[in-house]
Amino acid sequence: MNKTGRPQDFPLSNPRADRVRDVAKLAGRPARLKRGHFLAEGPQAVREALKLHQARLAAGAPGVVSEVFASEACLDRFPEFEELAAGTNARLATDEVLAAMADTVNPQGIIAVCRFLDVALEEVLDAGPRLIAVLCQVRDPGNAGTVLRAADSAGADAVVLTASSVDIYNPKAVRSTAGSLFHLPVVLGADAAAVAAACKARGIGILAADGYGTLNLDALQDENARRRLTGAGPESAYDLAAPTAWLFGNEAQGLSPDELELADHRVAVPVYGAAESLNLGTAATVCLYASARSQQPASVAT
């Protein structure tokens, strides 16, 4: 970086240059796995990546961003990137180069090469989580990213993806998280049964989101709220304020019989209209927020 904060030297201008091709290869899973890096594209994702990078450096931990490529126009529009990218390997690049690097048809002027972020399940559980989203055989990158974003918004402590789920570092998945990938721990390649057993050993309840579940989420919330407000009445079937891991299944088949067996309860989100069901992202958001609201202090939740 020069004294004005802008990357030094002339912009990268050759879209066929070896470095450009190397970055572009990270859109593919083999290159990501080999290098342990992935792409974050666009101002929102790169901003959150750089914030995490600087926070980790300040804490004496390794950063997460190895390179940043940005156009002059992007830096003019978002001047905060000049400070956020301080200390990284930042380079100016032409629009043609950014287009060659990016996975999108219309890149947004900035790309970051980031190191893998996933952590071990034990690290998540040792932190005493109260809300976890577990994605079982979720194959669509957009859906996985949407659920991760919903989990972040609901204040969840982690997201776990089973071994048969999509690669969360897929460029479409990263974009779908809208920067949330850099906000909360993510566990990859997990075994659903092992996750459930480890959670139960820590006193974390397991709820399965299931359209045919015997518990109605709205009724369950009403029971919890009534008891919370009055301190009286019958015990609800499940205390939504308790530490909870929600299981969310495949977009088409839902949770498998074996996965359903892992849960303490199967919970259905009621459908009041003519739609057959909710999509994965919407159902996960409703379930996570039901737990999040119940876990808030009474003065906040009411």
Digitized pLDDT (tens) for each residue of the chain, 302 residues in all: 444 445 555 788 999 999 999 999 999 999 999 999 999 999 999 999 999 999 999 999 999 999 999 999 999 999 999 889 887 889 999 999 999 999 777 778 999 999 999 999 999 999 999 999 999 999 999 999 999 999 999 999 999 999 999 999 999 999 999 999 999 999 999 999 999 999 999 999 999 999 999 999 999 999 888 877 776 656 778 999 999 999 999 988 899 999 999 999 999 999 999 888 889 999 999 999 999 999 987 655 44
Quick one: pLDDT at residue 238?
93
Domains of the chain: 18-115 (3.30.1330.30), 121-295 (3.40.1280.10)
Quick one: pLDDT at residue 111?
96
Going by C-beta distance under 8 Å and a sequence separation of 6 or more, which residues neighbour residue 248? 133, 134, 135, 136, 138, 147, 209, 255, 280, 283, 284, 287
Quick one: pLDDT at residue 3?
42
Quick one: pLDDT at residue 244?
98
CB atoms within 10 A of CB 31: 15
CA distances from 287 to 28, 113, 251 (A): 32, 33, 16
How far apart, in whole angstroms, are the C-alpha atoms of residue 13 and residue 96? 7
Quick one: pLDDT at residue 1?
46
37-41 sheet: strands from edge to edge: 37-41, 110-115, 65-70, 89-92
Quick one: pLDDT at residue 23?
96
Quick one: pLDDT at residue 228?
76
CB 36 within 8 Å of CB 116: yes
Q: Nearest CA to 90 among 189, 196, 193, 9?
A: 9
Question: Residue 206 forms beta bridges with which residues?
Answer: 245
Quick one: pLDDT at residue 236?
77
Three-state secondary-structure class, residue 169: coil
Between the CA atoms of 266, 279, 125 and 161, what dihedral angle is there, to the nearest 10 degrees? 120
Q: State the alpha helices, DSSP H only, in the chain.
A: 18-24, 29-35, 43-58, 72-77, 80-84, 95-101, 121-126, 141-153, 171-176, 192-201, 217-230, 257-261, 280-295, 298-301
Quick one: pLDDT at residue 226?
83
